[in-house]
Amino acid sequence: MPLSDHEQRMLDQIESALYAEDPKFASSVRGGGFRAPSARRWLQGAALFVVGLAMLVSGVAFKATMIGSFPILSVFGFVVMFGGVVFAITGPRLSGKKASSGGSASGSTRQRRAKGGGSFTSRMEDRFRRRFDE
């Protein structure tokens, strides 16, 4: 359900007040999203996962890698496996300064983008329109 004009104006006022009060925080919260991971990133993440799996198995198999009865190498192996998966599924962050190319945006939305990127709801509405206009 779209916001009414009054609600949209209130949201824009809150957003502009946030930028005026603390622009550094506002720009860090705004972010830019993530890109889809590339094939190279998938391969690197898979390699990290395999290395972590080898560490986990060797930590259980060899008693020399234990501190007391705690399998320290296995724990590190699990952490490396988890990091490999996270690395593989996330892409690099997009900068918030890149303008998206959408030819179907309305005039008021274009004006808001020219002023500073527009509000969150207007960006989501534009994304929705581009997705279903194709």
Over residues 26-55, the pLDDT tens digits come to: 777 666 556 677 888 889 999 999 999 999
Q: Would 22 be classed as within a structural domain?
A: no
Q: In this structure, is the dihedral angle defined by the CA atoms of residues 18, 21, 24 and 25, taken in order, positive or negative?
A: negative
Q: What is the pLDDT of residue 40?
A: 87
Same domain membership, residue 69 and residue 50: yes
Over residues 92-126, the pLDDT tens digits come to: 765 544 444 444 444 444 444 444 556 788 888 88
Over residues 7-27, the pLDDT tens digits come to: 888 888 888 888 888 777 777
Which tokens belong to 19? 């930028």
**Phi-psi group of 33: left, alpha or beta (phi > 0 → left; psi -120 to 50 → alpha; rest → beta):** left
Over residues 46-81, the pLDDT tens digits come to: 999 999 999 999 988 887 777 888 888 999 999 999
Same domain membership, residue 85 and residue 103: no
Q: Would 11 be classed as within a structural domain?
A: no
CA dihedral 39, 42, 43, 49 (to 10 degrees): 180
Q: State the pTM of this model.
A: 0.46
What is the identity of the amino acid at 34?
Answer: F
Q: What is the pLDDT of residue 97?
A: 46
Residue 133 structural domain: 99-134
Same domain membership, residue 128 and residue 105: yes
Q: Count how many domains the chain has.
A: 2
Which tokens belong to 80? 């490396």
Q: Residue 66: beta bridge partners?
A: 71
